[in-house]
Structure 1
Amino acid sequence: MPAARISRRRSVRTAITLAVLPVFAVLSACGYGSDKKDDTAKPAAQASGGQSSAGTSASEIRLGFFANVTHATPLVGLKEGFYQKELGSTSVKTQVFNAGPAAIEALKGGSIDATYIGPNPSISGFTSTNGELLRIVAGTTSGGASLVVKPGINSAADLKGKKIASPQLGGTQDVAVRSWLAQQGLKTDTKGGGDVSIVPTDNAQTLALFKSGELDGGWLPEPWATRLVQEAGAKVLVDERTLWPEGKFVTTNLIVRKKFLDEHPDTVEALIKGQVATTSWIQANPDKAKTDVNDQLTAFTQKGLAPAVIDNAWKNIEVTNDPLATSLLKLKDDGVKAGITKDADIHGIYDLTLLNKVLQAAGQPTVADAGLGAKK
């Protein structure tokens, strides 16, 4: 490759990319599934394990998630083998993302079939494709996001003229910080201007930049909010749970590419069975689950969390199969007001049929879609 071309490529690679590269090196060695892409349908009767006999099973499912505590369910489920047990002969190929918009682009490009993701990118992916791209098939996590800032910042007014990070433009935390600032009478824009400059930044870089004084805070998911507090001297200005009734709001959902769901409903059902089993196991074994999460973060990011960090971050989340659908409408409106999402009808974004089937079979309460389920 010519030296000039190499130079150009290096010049556009940010520290974000450098932070993510080790993740993908680990992914190739994780052994969750084959790297070979083969979406050819097989008769379900050929599948082993817990797959349904209805429909056809995919030879592989490509699953995305983030290396965050708010994605504890896939981290634990993969490590403990709950997904593979239910998927049987269907292999799982994993991919790690820093934030939702990148995962949505991967879904659009057909390089993944399903992903754990925040609500606002789910909405954007749905509305930008006229409802054709995806369906939310389960909830995963509530809570686990905070605005953490320098010690001298004591109110919203103190943020004027400051730089605040979010994981990625259009992501769930990005929408949350812009919405909250707007409610406080502070303006932002998508180019980093306004009363408060919002700087979309990879989470690992946010920690480094906060330590160096280049950022004044960030609206971040766990464990990054806790890491800024414990490792860099930040303080919590807003725990997002305080902004929601009963402190509950959707942080992470499981979404599936609609085409994959239509063609391989039995594979999606098996994936959901794996999640439901994982959720129950986490709730019954929180200490072991924390250890699993930290082990997985170590594998995917080359650095685990200090015990005090994982303990505090864990207290800030709730694992749940309930998508908390009523919170999605407000999140959509917040995204529209923030200029991140175009206003559109999101009816049909949920398809909880398989989830409720699995929950009923497990003797657990079913969940509601707040009237936003698939149109009949």
Structure 2
Amino acid sequence: MSSRTIRALALASAALVATTALAACGSKEEEKTAAEAAAGNAAEAPAIKLGYFPNITHAPALVGVNKKIFEEKLGSTKLEATTFNAGPAAIEALLSGAIDATYIGPNPAINGWSKSKGTALKIIAGSTSGGAGLVVREGINTPADLKGKKIATPQLGNTQDVALRAWLKSNNLNADTSGGGDVSILPQDNATAVQAFAQGTIDGAWVPEPNYSKLILESKGKVLVDEKTLWPNQEFVTTHLIVSQDFLKKYPGTVKKLLQGHIAAVKYIKDNNADAQKAANAQIEALTSKPLKDEILTAAFANLKFTYDPIASSLFTSAKHAEEVGLLDPVDLKGIYDITLLNELLKADGQAEVSDAAA
């Protein structure tokens, strides 16, 4: 064999060794990158700060906390639960980083999205539908009968306040934000509104459960508008679950486990309704020292639907209503939902996936 041939063979052999080494190195690098990506997708926080309200419309949260369903699903991640009495306060807490996720109504979520220019939050699941409307005293039978009357809502710009104003406008009645107009709208917290109605200082209130049932059963109020009758399929979002975008990006593994807890809590309510009612009421008592009467509890649960579906189309309609009554500047809600993890979990559980479409 000539020296030239030997040199050629040596070079080829060296090249083969180098190529093999590079390929092996590349394979290891690819494996490392894939492992890092998988770890990133499963990143978990040491703790999650979750907000919710001591209200039956937040029953999945009440049951999930009381029955320790969230704690079980979160595993090593510590649950730090905080309660709020109004949506705007919960949104401010989310914007400031005081909480990472919260159960909340649609309009505060829309306002938070608008205020942060779409950077603060994502809606990751539905929770509750229905359970709100206008209850009035005897003698009020039509929209026209409301002229000159005083009607309470929980807070200016909240979900029920927007619903009332939009409904009045659709019936050619006006109401300004200062309590003037054809109908005087008085923002009052729910407990105050219930008391004021019982005392006769207001003529009605557009409120969520359980206050809706309290006005009917305790103060002999009559239903003028059951809000679900205003919506397609009688479904509209009352409460959904939102999360900080920063927290979702950093700890998708924890958000996934939170959603597992949420799904388990909703399933528990559907499969164990009587016990779920007791658990929700026990949690309300623990938080407020005032459990609901059995008849109010039963009526409120019967008037609500607990669901993972965010009923997205109703959110977009609510935003339009808020704009039309002057409580919201035009806002682009594209991207407000991220239901990827929810649908992944629902599919794995053999359940139907949900939509975030506007219509």
Match of 1:194 in 2: 181
Kindly state the Cα deviation for residue 343 of structure 1 after the two structures are TM-superposed: 1.0
Cα distance change on mapping 1:364 and 1:148 into 2, 3 Å: same
Give the root-mean-square deviation of aligned CA atoms.
1.4
- 2:107 pairs with 120, 127, 146, which one? 120
Match of 1:297 in 2: 284
CA distance in 2: counterparts of 1:101 and 1:160, whole angstroms: 29
Match of 2:81 in 1: 94
Structure 1 runs (4+) greater than 4 angstroms displaced: none
* Residue correspondence of structure 1 range 72-151 to structure 2 within 5 A: 72-151=59-138
CA distance in 1: counterparts of 2:152 and 2:93, whole angstroms: 23
CA distance in 2: counterparts of 1:340 and 1:102, whole angstroms: 17
Higher Cα Rg, which structure? 2
**Uncovered stretches (5+) of structure 2, i.e. residues with no partner:** 1-38
**Are 2:51 and 2:83, in contact at CA under 8 Å, matched by a contact in 1?**
yes
The answer on 1:163 being equivalent to 2:146 is: no
* Residue correspondence of structure 1 range 59-74 to structure 2 within 5 A: 59-74=46-61
- Bigger proportion of residues as helix: 2
Kindly state the Cα deviation for residue 268 of structure 1 after the two structures are TM-superposed: 0.7
3-state secondary structure, aligned to 1:57: coil
Match of 1:4 in 2: none
CA distance in 2: counterparts of 1:307 and 1:361, whole angstroms: 37
- 2:318 pairs with 320, 331, 337, which one? 331
**Are 2:316 and 2:358, in contact at CA under 8 Å, matched by a contact in 1?**
no
Match of 1:316 in 2: 303
Match of 2:43 in 1: 56
Kindly state the Cα deviation for residue 106 of structure 1 after the two structures are TM-superposed: 1.4
- 2:169 pairs with 182, 186, 191, which one? 182
**Are 2:135 and 2:215, in contact at CA under 8 Å, matched by a contact in 1?**
yes
Match of 2:196 in 1: 209
What is the one-letter code of the residue matched to 1:361?
A
CA distance in 2: counterparts of 1:371 and 1:221, whole angstroms: 24
Match of 1:247 in 2: 234
Kindly state the Cα deviation for residue 55 of structure 1 after the two structures are TM-superposed: 3.6
TM-score normalised by the chain length of structure 2: 0.87
Kindly state the Cα deviation for residue 110 of structure 1 after the two structures are TM-superposed: 1.6
Kindly state the Cα deviation for residue 325 of structure 1 after the two structures are TM-superposed: 0.9
Kindly state the Cα deviation for residue 98 of structure 1 after the two structures are TM-superposed: 1.9
Kindly state the Cα deviation for residue 53 of structure 1 after the two structures are TM-superposed: 8.2
**Are 1:138 and 1:322, in contact at CA under 8 Å, matched by a contact in 2?**
yes
The answer on 1:226 being equivalent to 2:176 is: no
Q: Deviations over 1:217-244 (max 9, x none)?
A: 1111100010111112211111001101
- 2:265 pairs with 278, 287, 290, which one? 278
Match of 2:329 in 1: 342
Q: Deviations over 1:125-175 (max 9, x none)?
A: 111211001100000011011111111211111111111111111111111
Aligned residues between the structures: 321
Kindly state the Cα deviation for residue 302 of structure 1 after the two structures are TM-superposed: 1.1
The answer on 1:256 being equivalent to 2:256 is: no
**Are 1:148 and 1:225, in contact at CA under 8 Å, matched by a contact in 2?**
yes
CA distance in 2: counterparts of 1:95 and 1:188, whole angstroms: 34
Kindly state the Cα deviation for residue 118 of structure 1 after the two structures are TM-superposed: 0.8
CA distance in 2: counterparts of 1:146 and 1:300, whole angstroms: 25
CA distance in 2: counterparts of 1:251 and 1:343, whole angstroms: 22
**Uncovered stretches (5+) of structure 1, i.e. residues with no partner:** 1-51
TM-score normalised by the chain length of structure 1: 0.83
**Are 2:134 and 2:205, in contact at CA under 8 Å, matched by a contact in 1?**
yes
